């Protein structure tokens, strides 16, 4: 996808007009302002000064925006659903100690998809009773890890159920079934997980057999069903349809002697990457889901289960940005101009992976309008390392601070050390204070787990 900017691109400060009450609908964090130096501030911190202090690339997360999103999800379900509810943060979007602790402080649970994510959540102090372990190929060791901490396991396949049954005697793990609902959404092919041709979940034709297995395996504590129909979804109808599908499975489970306890509708609410994006607000989404589940339960004549949802990107995506330092500039006559920054595909893999489109601005020139169409290039040894193919920016100079918006989700979590670039630091900003929540990696970190066979070792000629 090639983004074609128009010549009406506003000044950086005009992006502040795109800030909405719901974090997922804003292009910048809710606390974004412009100070007297014409610099962008987030969380009361000057972005350009943050780069001077902590270096770049630099991930910047706004605590107020994250807490606001958590509260809107939590209160949205509570106010629109007559039964119990729980919001679980899908931590694959951004999993680190501080973010796990922050959302837990807001009363949310945590959705993890690996032993590493589970370990991080536990170390952050998250209550295991609020941790749900996902994944389509959990290892035996990971299942043992889940049983040891007594979190809920979202079983994805027959092998997991068989392994859990072997490990379960005396432990009675809470087990939720992930089922493929067969619901299509208008989103990127790679992030559609609800249609039948998916690596995730049990096929609907297998549900009866799986439920019978659970009925005959008392060592496994069946607690409910789960489905996820994809991500970056702007439509509401698929979530309404999903409610009916899940409730029908709960009703069948009840008929087989497995009384329904929980219903997990997954996540998937989209966020705003460009001005053209128009996702529902968090409040609108939670109201849609809660009402759909209640109506489906009334029609099926079953008691209301505990309603669970799993937002990820919509909690952290727009609440985070990435700040870079501008370096070289290359003009290709009658073709394009490249402006290079000191990061790229190693700190944001989404443009090269999904052809994702982002908006950018010069954080130290907020009042200047965009007058030059450029390609924002990363510094990796790859022609495809382009963060933004066509961005209309003010004239950029070396040492300017270029900021890319809405990178809080799947920036750090998909980052790498390609070309042995150092993974960036991350700061959490709040009321003028910036706390480092992920330290910048060092060159020594790069080689800490390398091993040099003795036959190849020699004294390095230069020490840096």
d(CA 279, CA 138): 33
Which of 333, 185, 336 shows the shortest CA–CA distance to 270?
185
Which of 73, 31, 111 shows the shortest CA–CA distance to 315?
73
d(CA 403, CA 58): 9
Helices H / strands E in the chain, number of each: 12, 20
Residues 6+ apart with CB under 8 A from 168: 147, 219, 220
Could you please report the per-residue DSSP string of 342-379? S--TTT--HHHHH-----EEETT-TTSPP-EEEEEE-S
Residues 6+ apart with CB under 8 A from 74: 87, 106, 107, 108
The backbone region for 406, taken as left when phi is positive above 0, alpha when psi lies in -120 to 50, beta otherwise, is left
Residue 149 annotated to the active site: no
Which of 336, 433, 464 shows the shortest CA–CA distance to 49?
433
Phi, psi of 202 (to 5 degrees): -80, 140
The secondary structure of residue 202, as a DSSP letter, is B
Buried b (16+ CB within 10 A) or exposed e, 104-128: bebebbbbbbbbebbebbbebebeb
Say what angle helices 140-149 and 115-123 make with each other, to 10 degrees. 20
d(CA 46, CA 434): 10
Catalytic residues: 381
């Amino acid at each position: 996808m090639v983004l074609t900017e128009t010549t009406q691109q506003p000044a950086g400060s005009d992006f502040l007009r795109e800030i909405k009450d719901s974090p997922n609908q804003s292009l910048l964090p809710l606390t974004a302002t412009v100070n007297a130096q014409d610099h962008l501030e987030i969380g009361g911190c000057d972005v350009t000064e943050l780069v001077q202090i902590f270096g770049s690339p630099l991930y910047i997360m706004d605590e107020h925006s994250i807490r606001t999103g958590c509260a809107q999800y939590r209160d949205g379900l509570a106010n629109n659903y007559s039964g119990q509810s729980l919001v679980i943060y899908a931590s694959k979007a951004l999993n680190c100690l501080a973010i796990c602790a922050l959302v837990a402080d807001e009363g949310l649970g945590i959705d993890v998809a690996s032993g590493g994510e589970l370990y991080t959540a536990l170390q952050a102090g998250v209550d295991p009773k609020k941790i749900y372990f996902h994944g389509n190929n959990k290892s035996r060791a990971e299942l043992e890890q889940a049983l040891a901490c007594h979190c809920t396991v979202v079983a994805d396949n027959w092998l997991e159920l068989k392994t859990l049954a072997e490990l379960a005697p005396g432990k009675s793990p809470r087990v939720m079934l992930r089922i493929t609902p067969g619901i299509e959404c208008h989103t990127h092919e790679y992030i559609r997980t609800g249609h039948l041709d998916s690596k995730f979940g049990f096929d609907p034709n297998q549900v009866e057999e799986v439920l019978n297995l659970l009925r005959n395996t008392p060592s496994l504590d069946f607690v409910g069903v789960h489905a996820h129909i994809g991500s970056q979804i702007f439509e509401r109808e698929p979530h309404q349809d999903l409610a009916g599908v899940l409730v029908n499975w709960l009703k069948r489970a009840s008929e087989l002697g497995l009384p329904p306890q929980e219903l997990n509708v997954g996540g998937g609410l989209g966020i705003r990457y460009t001005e053209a994006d128009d996702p529902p607000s968090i409040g609108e989404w939670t109201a849609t889901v809660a009402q759909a589940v209640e109506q489906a339960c009334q029609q099926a004549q079953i008691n209301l289960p505990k309603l669970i949802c799993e937002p990820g990107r919509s909690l952290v995506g727009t609440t985070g940005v990435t700040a870079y330092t501008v370096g070289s500039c290359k003009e290709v006559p009658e073709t394009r101009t490249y402006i290079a920054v000191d990061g790229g595909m190693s700190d944001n893999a989404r443009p090269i992976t999904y052809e994702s489109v982002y908006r950018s601005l010069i954080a130290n020139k907020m009042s200047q309008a965009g007058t030059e169409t450029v390609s924002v290039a990363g510094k990796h040894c790859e022609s495809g390392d382009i963060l933004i193919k066509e961005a209309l920016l003010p004239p950029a100079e070396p040492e300017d601070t270029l900021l890319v918006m809405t990178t809080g989700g799947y920036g750090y979590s998909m980052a790498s050390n390609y070309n042995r670039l150092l993974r960036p630091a991350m700061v959490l900003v709040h009321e003028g204070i910036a706390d480092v929540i992920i330290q910048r990696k060092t060159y020594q970190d790069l080689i800490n787990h390398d091993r040099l066979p003795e036959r190849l070792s020699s004294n390095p000629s230069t020490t840096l």
